[in-house]
A and B are shown apart, each in its own frame.
Chain A
Amino acid sequence: MKRKNKPENNNKNKTSRREFLKKGLLAGAGTVLGGGVVGSFNAFAESGDTIKVLGPDGKVMSVDKSHLKEIGARTEKQMQKEGRDGIPGRKWVKVIDLSKCKNARMCMAACQNAHQLRPDQHHVNVLRMDRGGETAPFFMPKPCQHCDDPPCTKVCPVDATFKRQDGLVLIDNERCIGCRFCIAACPYSARIFNWTEPKDAEKYEDVEYNVELNVPQKKGTVSKCLFSADLLRIDKMPYCVTACPNGVYWFGDENENAVTNGTTKETVNFKKLLKDNAAYVLMPELGTEPRVYYLPEKDRMFPFVYEGSTELKKDKH
């Protein structure tokens, strides 16, 4: 359980690390305003009433309210309604290929960047696991499982966390009262809480809240993986999925029976992928019916190495 987070004995690549960070931050920044801010601003009359929105590069910008519609941006009320309804006809599904994960953590960085999270806040967390006994360790990215029988939305007293018709489990930070019952109820530890002011709170202060992005994050409320619902709305794959350099993530629509690899962009038959690779879900015995499938860590592309060791340091007991 208790692990020391110490860096490896690699001092040469300080610059590359810095560069990596910069890159990672940029790479994760996705669009929020649909196809992005397009068209000329001058074409419309200014109402003089400006609001702050998130630009396509993740930067906060002030926009005149009258332009909102033209640039594809939506008001908070619209976002709330659409965000709660979900996208009709879709049934989002994620497949995680454990044989390809090497703990690159690009997914985590992209996610944290998109959702205004600090480095210790994880919507998706790459865990070091084994299956007990003498089994070999492996890396396991763990996003929210977006269960079809979600124990978290069951217990929410105010409908702040909810299940949409397209299968996503989202949380409305404008409604959450911070009781943290959902955190206690989630067997996958997929939920986090804003114990203090969120990262860069000043920067996002007046930004319209987007329930499909959980940005701006709100102090005293729960946050969680949203399968990048904001990107799905514009037919794009989630931040983590496209950030992966190793082809770990497949994402798609169960109703279309197809998933697309975030790295190679290859699209395959979803059920065939599960069948051919003996896919499974996490803790099916709990009856949560996850929407995230795992492909076992067979024929691995990378050896398990963590902090210079190929062994998994055991937790107590």
Chain B
Amino acid sequence: MINHKNITMKYININRKVTALLFILMTFSTSLNAQWNIPKEAKNSIPPVEATYKTVEEGKVLFQKNCISCHGIPGKGENNKAINATDLGDESYQLKHTVGEVFYQFNTGMGAMPSFKNRFSEEEKWHIAFYVKSFDNSFKISGERIKTLNANLKMSINDSDKTIKVTATVTDDNGSINAAANTKINFYVKRIFGNMPVSEDIKTNEDGIAVFKFPDDIPGDEKGKIKIIAGFEDTDRYGKNTETAEVTWGKVLHYENPNLKRTLWGSNKRVPVWLLITYLSVTLGVWFVIFYVAFQITRIKNAGK
């Protein structure tokens, strides 16, 4: 008896182990570690656009959207070691790769690294390469370094026409306040897992004022409540200050618990009426006859008297 059981268990265990091993090998065996083969031309290729602080910034925006999921912010060791992604801020990487090589890698892709050839314009790709190389002190960036200003946003809400007026100001070193003119302001609504942009191309005027007309089709909660966030697009220049306002301009959520309906897929407490009636009438009907017959059997004796 014991033997039989052990054999069965053993069989299962071995089976499981082999399976698990095979599976692990199969799953993670994509060529993460293959070698880059960068042509010489790439090393010395000259960017068609100039590396300035502005283009580096453009590159940074793109990098943050497309690259940090694997590589992390360069120099911070946030790279995904599991798939052998490089920390692009690492000295060993920077010393080995010219901006042309970075561009090549980004353009071509290899192994786990996708090719971004068709996803961005040539310029954009160079911008990203500039941003990557900006972590190399010897890499030359022309133009003036951008200095983050002490900027502020003020929101005023107009409920009657569902607009938000934003006044953007910059406080300079002397403490005097000036309008932040001609700069892009982004508006977001708060959603459960992040802020969803709802505005396009809204700029402040000469007086630092921008007006945002809230769209009608953004869902709010059951009272139409919604949180609106405003911030500068150019966070490097104006900082990451945001302003939040709560309004009731959202589409009112008409929430109905679907589980209160009687459905075939619902719980046992919500049986469709037709089913309940059919089941009960058929079952009770049949069992009534059964009990009738059973009862009549007990009367056989009486019939014999």
Contacts and interface: CB of A to CB of B under 8 A. Distances in A.
A123 to B, nearest CB: 15
A13 interface: yes
B81 A8 contact: no
B196 A264 contact: no
Contacts of B115: 301
A7 B26 contact: yes
Given A19-B81, A245-B70, A263-B69, A253 B191 contact: yes
A116 interface: no
B112 A267 contact: no
A268 B195 CA distance: 8
Contact of B19 (A27, A120, A165): A120
Contacts of B81: 19-20, 23
Given A16-B33, A89-B221, A260-B194, A6 B26 contact: yes
A258 B226 CA distance: 13
A10 interface: yes
A102 interface: yes
B80 interface: yes
B75 to A, nearest CB: 20
Contacts of B258: 148, 163, 165
Contact of B22 (A6, A86, A196, A237): A6
A264 B19 contact: no
B40 interface: no
A21 interface: yes
A158 to B, nearest CB: 8
A256 B255 contact: no
> What's the interface size class on A, roughly?
35 or more
Nearest to B258: A165
- Identify which of B19, B29, B65, B119 gathers the most chain A CB atoms within 10 Å of its CB: B29
B28 A17 contact: yes
B16 to A, nearest CB: 7
B29 A119 contact: no
A89 B193 contact: no
B25 A7 contact: yes
B257 interface: yes
Nearest to A253: B192
A90 B266 CA distance: 18
A252 B192 contact: yes
Given A104-B112, A119-B27, A162-B267, A267 B194 contact: yes
A267 B196 contact: yes
A159 B25 contact: no
Nearest to B23: A119
Interface in B12-36: 12, 16, 19-20, 22-33
A159 B196 CA distance: 38
Contacts of B195: 267
A246 interface: yes
Contact of B255 (A149, A159, A255): A255
A260 B193 contact: yes
B77 interface: no
Given A13-B33, A245-B70, A104 B268 contact: no
A52 B258 CA distance: 35
A150 B253 CA distance: 24
Interface in A254-312: 255-258, 260, 263-269, 299, 301-302, 305, 307
B193 A257 contact: no
* Majority secondary structure of chain A interface residues (helix, strand, loop or mixed): loop
Contacts of B12: 196
B83 interface: yes
A265 B193 CA distance: 8
A106 B191 CA distance: 26
A39 B201 CA distance: 45
B191 A264 contact: no
B84 interface: yes
Contact of B114 (A235, A252, A302): A302
Nearest to B266: A163
Nearest to B188: A267
A305 to B, nearest CB: 8
Contacts of B25: 5-7
Contacts of B82: 19-20, 23-24, 27, 106
Nearest to A301: B114
Interface string B158-176: 0000000000000000000
Interface string B212-239: 0000011101100000000000000000
Nearest to B33: A13
A257 B253 CA distance: 11
A164 interface: yes
Given A23-B82, A104-B112, A266-B194, A10 B29 contact: yes
B196 A258 contact: yes
A137 interface: no
A12 B164 CA distance: 59
B16 A252 contact: no
- Identify which of B19, B112, B192, B195 gathers the most chain A CB atoms within 10 Å of its CB: B192
Contact of A21 (B19, B24, B31, B257): B24
B259 interface: yes
Given A8-B31, A119-B24, A252-B192, 11 more contacts: A5-B25, A7-B29, A12-B33, A102-B30, A154-B264, A252-B193, A255-B253, A255-B255, A257-B219, A269-B196, A302-B114
18 contacts: A5-B26, A7-B22, A13-B32, A13-B33, A20-B82, A20-B83, A118-B16, A119-B23, A120-B19, A148-B258, A237-B193, A246-B114, A258-B194, A264-B65, A264-B69, A265-B194, A267-B195, A302-B114
Nearest 9 CB-CB pairings of A with B = A267-B194, A260-B193, A7-B25, A258-B191, A23-B82, A5-B26, A267-B196, A13-B33, A8-B29
